[in-house]
Chain A
């Protein structure tokens, strides 16, 4: 079964870039890589997704390795409001198009 591996937690200083890594060595060629985050006492929130090429949106950037066995979520300038658990997720035909969640990385932002 496809799965993702993430560090349990990471710390960063406010207003600095944050790079959140994810390994997915068993990814299939048709699996999309999704990232969601969950702020305290809230439901998960979509951040970004991609297949092969790097992706940018107003929240973050997603850098995908050429062999697709790893990816990195980049927050360009972290704020205190970005403190959350970030989940790296695979989604594709193998999972009946359902989210296969990683354990998540708890991001701590220091003021």
Chain B
């Protein structure tokens, strides 16, 4: 199994809603990532978890709250988002954080904030 599974595939939410994005992998990877991708742009790193501990937060606003309950799961909790937060949210995993390791990406959650 070389898949990273993200749910839901699409999400529409209002600015006062609370929602969560979920990501799961069963490859035994110990590094997991959240990326944000705007249309026609490359992905931008948001958070990195290494061995279930948050190791990198790229100055992401607190309305995005990541959580890594165990080595296979990664969540992104959303609260009080703005319309400009509408984007494709990608989860990825790798064996570990390293310059040679390749990342496996999920298909993403397309988020629209109204």
Contacts and interface: CB of A to CB of B under 8 A. Distances in A.
A96 B100 CA distance: 12
Interface in A96-111: 96-99, 101-104
29 contacts: A30-B99, A31-B99, A32-B99, A32-B100, A41-B107, A42-B107, A42-B108, A43-B90, A43-B92, A43-B105, A43-B107, A43-B108, A44-B43, A44-B90, A44-B103, A45-B105, A46-B104, A87-B42, A93-B99, A97-B97, A97-B98, A98-B45, A98-B97, A99-B45, A99-B103, A101-B42, A101-B43, A103-B42, A104-B42
Tell me whether chain A's interface is mostly helix, strand or loop, or mixed.
Answer: loop
A70 B72 CA distance: 37
A92 interface: yes
Contacts of A24: none
A49 interface: yes
Interface of B: 4, 41-43, 45, 48, 56, 90, 92, 97-100, 102-108
A32 B55 CA distance: 21
B48 A98 contact: yes
A92 B99 contact: yes
Contacts of B48: 98
Nearest to A102: B42
Given A43-B90, A46-B102, A99-B103, 12 more contacts: A30-B99, A31-B99, A42-B107, A42-B108, A43-B92, A44-B105, A46-B104, A49-B100, A97-B99, A98-B56, A99-B45, A103-B42
A30 B41 CA distance: 26
Nearest to B42: A101
A13 to B, nearest CB: 25
Contacts of B98: 97
Nearest to A106: B40
Sort A-B residue pairs by CB-CB distance and give the 10 closest, nearest first: A43-B105, A101-B42, A46-B102, A92-B99, A32-B99, A44-B105, A97-B97, A91-B99, A43-B90, A97-B99
